[in-house]
Amino acid sequence: MPTFHVHNVPGDLYARLRRQAQAHRRSLSAEAIALLQGALDRAQCTSETPLASIRRRRFFDPAVAGAPDSTTLLRQARDR
């Protein structure tokens, strides 16, 4: 596994990282890796174009939401 060294870390940042690692019961390295992974995952999500985001979210499955589909609604409206 590759090794990654960071030099000249500000003291306050180092202290915050150490406290957070202790709170999560992780080593300093494990906490840094978790934070980097989360930041990169979020950056990848936000790098999605607005159009791609709309396309990903635009499909609605009525069955999943417990709603009737449009065919059922149209048939009900015709029967009135």
Question: CA-CA distance, 51 to 57, in Å (whole number)?
Answer: 10
The pLDDT tens digits of the residues spanning 37-67 come to 988 887 776 667 778 777 777 777 777 777 8
Predicted TM-score of the model (pTM)? 0.55
Q: What is the mean pLDDT of residues 1-8?
A: 89
Give phi and psi for 77, each to the nearest 5: -70, -35
User: What pLDDT, on the 0 to 100 scale, is given for residue 17?
Assistant: 95
The per-residue pLDDT for range 7-42, each reduced to its tens digit, is 999 999 999 999 999 999 999 999 999 999 988 887
pLDDT confidence of residue 29: 93
